[in-house]
Structure 1
Amino acid sequence: MSNPDSFINEISEEVRRDRLYALLRRWGWVAALIVIGIVGGAAWTEWSRANRAEKAQAFGDSVMAALTAEDVAARRAALAGIEPADANQVAILGLLQASAALDGDDADAQPARDRLLAVADTPDLATTYRHLALIKAMLAGGSGDAARDGAILEELAAPGAPFRSMAIELQALTALDAGDEETALTLLRALTEDAEATQALRRRAQQLIVALGALPEPA
């Protein structure tokens, strides 16, 4: 390579280097902000994850301590003092408080039902927790409003719902209370063939069908 060519290449390299430095001086702060944002975001995500884990651990420890209290009154007091951190913890705590309200000689079902129904209406609550609160409320006697109870059971008995079979059984019992034996038998027969129903639930349905003087329809 000739000296003139080498000289030109050196000049070109210097020009490129100068342009690069100019770009860095002009836009380097943007790159720095991007790096800071990435590092800061990662640190925030990690801190948030650790904080959530710590709060979940603290909640679990508080619940376990409350459940091991010596008597019902102490359990109720301990549960009342726990502060939930999110909607799902609100639901868990509400379910436990409702169960504690139903324990003991001074048990009163109405406050427990009200508590369960309130839990079910918690914003951003997972469907499983909502349905668990509702099914427990219905098993404890319902809301006291026949129309509302019917709507609740319809929701719980929808295809794919986690407690669908139990809800159908409650629908059958509600129909019997209303004197609608035909609807009750239809629901009970469906339960005897329901693959999702437990063996104990299918057996109860069969026994109730026989008690009503009918027989399960042949498959």
Structure 2
Amino acid sequence: AILAALDNNEAAERAMALASIQGSDVGGRAILALLTSKEQFDAGSQKEAQETLQLLASDADVPLVYRQVASFKLLALQENQLSLAERKAGYEALIGGNPQLEVLVEEQLALIEIEQGNTEEAIAALSSIVQDSEATPGLRRRATQLIVALGGDVPVVATAQEQSE
């Protein structure tokens, strides 16, 4: 049913088709909600996407990992609606429990530091990301590019072989 829903040509049709699917368990319903919110956003229905994510993020029956992902995505969608302090507090609340999400949160916090004009703090946070083993190559590349753009020095990261020696 998910594959058939995603096979629609229009994002609005995909969103409606996904929203009509009943998940077999709470994890399945959470994944459906995340997929639905993405299609709602792609269809230009940002408010609906936010509502879908808010429902998921506040559902205590949903495993924490899904609620955290929903909260992360919701904060991104609300970027223009929330103050820097509100966004920062929202991202800080997501730290802990999910190492992969945590490095993405750290990236967002570094971007907030840049918005606030705190270049040194941003470079320090980005340097931490570059050295974090949970960071993906793409995230490390983005962090490195931002460090260079901010005039900082890119930290030297030891390879796995060098670390074991």
- The question of 1:171 aligning with 2:114 is answered no
What are the ranges of 5 or more consecutive residues in structure 1 without an aligned counterpart?
A: 1-61
Question: How has the CA–CA distance of structure 1 residues 92 and 217 changed in structure 2, closer, same or farther, with 3 Å as cutoff?
Answer: closer
Question: How has the CA–CA distance of structure 1 residues 162 and 125 changed in structure 2, closer, same or farther, with 3 Å as cutoff?
Answer: farther
User: TM-score of the superposition, structure 2-length normalised?
Assistant: 0.80
User: TM-score of the superposition, structure 1-length normalised?
Assistant: 0.62
Q: Are the counterparts in 1 of residues 113 and 121 from structure 2 also a CA contact under 8 Å?
A: yes
The RMSD of aligned alpha carbons is 2.3
Question: How has the CA–CA distance of structure 1 residues 114 and 182 changed in structure 2, closer, same or farther, with 3 Å as cutoff?
Answer: farther
- The question of 1:113 aligning with 2:44 is answered no
CA distance in 1, matches of 2:34, 2:80: 16
Question: Higher Cα Rg: structure 1 or 2?
Answer: 1
Alpha-carbon shift at residue 71 of structure 1 (Å): 2.4
What are the ranges of 5 or more consecutive residues in structure 2 without an aligned counterpart?
A: 158-165
Instruction: Give the letter for the 1:95 counterpart.
Output: L
- The question of 1:133 aligning with 2:70 is answered yes
Query: What does residue range 60-79 of structure 1 map to in structure 2 within 5 Å?
Result: 62-79=1-18
- Per the alignment, residue 22 of structure 2 pairs with 83
CA distance in 2, matches of 1:142, 1:120: 17
- Per the alignment, residue 60 of structure 2 pairs with 123
CA distance in 1, matches of 2:15, 2:107: 31
Q: How many residues align?
A: 156
- Per the alignment, residue 20 of structure 1 pairs with none
Q: Are the counterparts in 2 of residues 66 and 78 from structure 1 also a CA contact under 8 Å?
A: yes
- Per the alignment, residue 211 of structure 1 pairs with 149
Question: How has the CA–CA distance of structure 1 residues 98 and 159 changed in structure 2, closer, same or farther, with 3 Å as cutoff?
Answer: closer
Higher relative contact order (CA 8 A, sep 6+): 2
